[in-house]
Amino acid sequence: MFRILLCLLPFCLFAEPIIRTNARIHPEYSKKAMVVSQDSIATDIALKILKDGGNAADAAIALAYAQAVTQPKAGNIGGGGFAIYFDNKTKKSYAIDFREVAPIKTHKDTFLDEKGNVDKNKKRFSLAATAVPGTVAGMEFIRENFGSLSNKQLISPAIELAAKGFPVSPGLAFDLKNMKEVFIKDDYLKSIFLPSGEPLRKGEFLVQKDLANTLTRLAQHGPQDFYKGRIAQEFTAYFKEKGGLISEQDLANYKAYKTEPVKGTYRGHEVLSMPPPSSGGVHLIQMLNILEKWDLKNTGHNSASYIHLLAETMKLAYADRSKHLGDPAFAKIPSQGIISKKYADKLRKKINLQKATPADKIAPDTPQVFESPDTTHFSIVDQFGNAISVTYTINFSFGSRKMIPGLGFFLNNEMDDFSGKNGVPNGYGLIGSEANSVEAGKRPLSSMTPVIVMKDGKPFIVTGSPGGSRIITTVLQVILNVIDHEMNIAEASLAPRVHHQWLPDVLNIESGLSPDTIQILHLLNHKTLQNGTAGCAESILIDQGVIYGFADPRRIDGKAAGLD
């Protein structure tokens, strides 16, 4: 029987991470500032903001609005998300929540049919699937609290892109081709993305006049126009006419806010990420705590032993996610219990080092209470020492696949992130409980995991990823690759990833693992499935005064660029 050899001693001291000159691939670098995003045009716009004297917050806002134009499937003003911001002047970090909110008219049976079953189409692709958007409020909150430039300065580049058009990127051309059968049935979407009856191709210009007009109103009148002005009136009039749930009161009541990041430690580093209603930070720290007592470096990167430990750890965390996580304004979330080292010690004892534990033998544990796949992420470090990690989304690719004629942006379908019925998986196969049930005014549970890892009181790793349920495990592996396996940020991003989310009981693997490793995993009772890619980390590593950035090529339009 295959026997796994592991160092079970408490925390072993590791050498400082080394940026090796003999690495097979190298990241971009700068001694001043760095921007990394999934879109090259948006990266360049953010970098120009920094060159003109703006800070990380300013660059983030300009980048977010630019991606609303160039990345319509995920970049948005019709969705929401989270950010972690480190202010170098005050040496303080902040979590900014601009997650979408369930409309007032929502109730627990909103997405159940006459037989009491979840109506998946209504929950994902109807107007009822749209939660109250938070991106515009979130960008304004960041600007007012941390920025230095005006909305006009920050939104103008996006307005120009939308009004004059830009050449369709390879990634966008691929996405539009995939959505042809959906968009061709909607005259408004067809007029924008299939003007000749065929999807725009690589290099052809995408012009979005209505979106340009919407962005112009935001630049001239401020975000209040989205929530209380003319945009709000057009938005809610359409919903009233077509049967959606969002009302004028819903938009007027929306608020973005800042809170304390959830904080943990890993091998002498401080990990800062989002608290609930994101599950990302809590379960990232939980998994790091479980893994910290093993000598991962000497176990061997992506060896069968190593992957076995990751998979068994992931299953325990995702089982807890299914029961305990939700909006803390509506349910008591045992966050501090979940991220405690003592609880990790308890869970670690459940891991059988010789074979995989079947998912049906794992149940959510009870921590003590001590107190779409299409999303997009970007990371920025500026010349002033500030850092920001932002993940935002409209949920599925192109959200609900609906636009309000005249406004020009896709609506989210974030209501699918709620548990429509206890035990029924959402679009990502994730199970939810009462803590994440559908309820008016509640923010749906998310897997978004913007993170800043600190070293000696300064930002060390700034990262995050899209990828639905795979976001948390993607971020986990990037961090492990840097800290435990001493990879540079390019190598850490490119290495093949694995993902397990408890249910379904399958270990998803990317291509690149050796057949021998996969065979050993099968001997350990893992059911493996090679199923696409896992996430797309946009990451920055700061080492000895040099800022390194790398755009994950799992999505082909990304770019990392440093300030000269």
> What backbone torsions phi and psi does residue 146 show, to the nearest 5 degrees?
-135, -15
What φ, ψ does residue 108 adopt, rounded to 5°?
-65, -20
**Start-to-end Cα distance in the chain:** 56
Strands 28-30 and 528-530: unpaired
Residue with tokens 């929950």: 123
Q: To the nearest 10°, the Cα dihedral for 416, 468, 142, 542?
A: 170
Could you give the 3-state DSSP secondary structure of residue 437? Answer: strand
Say if residues 415 and 101 touch (Cβ distance below 8 Å).
no
**Sequence-distant (≥ 6) Cβ neighbours of residue 84 within 8 angstroms:** 93, 94, 95, 96, 261, 272, 273, 274, 388, 389, 450, 451, 452
Cβ(101)–Cβ(437) below 8 Å: no
In whole angstroms, how far apart are CA 414 and each of 233, 316, 344, 422, 444?
21, 25, 31, 17, 7
CB neighbour list of residue 536: distance below 8 Å, 6 or more residues apart: 38, 377, 465, 466, 467, 474, 552, 554, 555, 558
Using CA atoms, how far residue 562 sits from 32, 131, 147, 154, 245, in Å, is 7, 36, 20, 19, 44
Q: How far apart are CA 560 and CA 43, in angstroms?
A: 7
d(CA 276, CA 190): 38
Strands (E), 132-245: 166-167, 205-206
* Residues carrying an active site annotation: 375
CA atoms within 13 Å, Cβ hemisphere of 436:
31
Q: Are 416 and 393 in contact (CB under 8 A)?
A: no
SS3 313: helix
Phi, psi of 484 (to 5 degrees): -85, -40
Residue 359 CB neighbour total at 10 angstroms:
18
Distance of CA 226 to the CA centre of its chain: 24
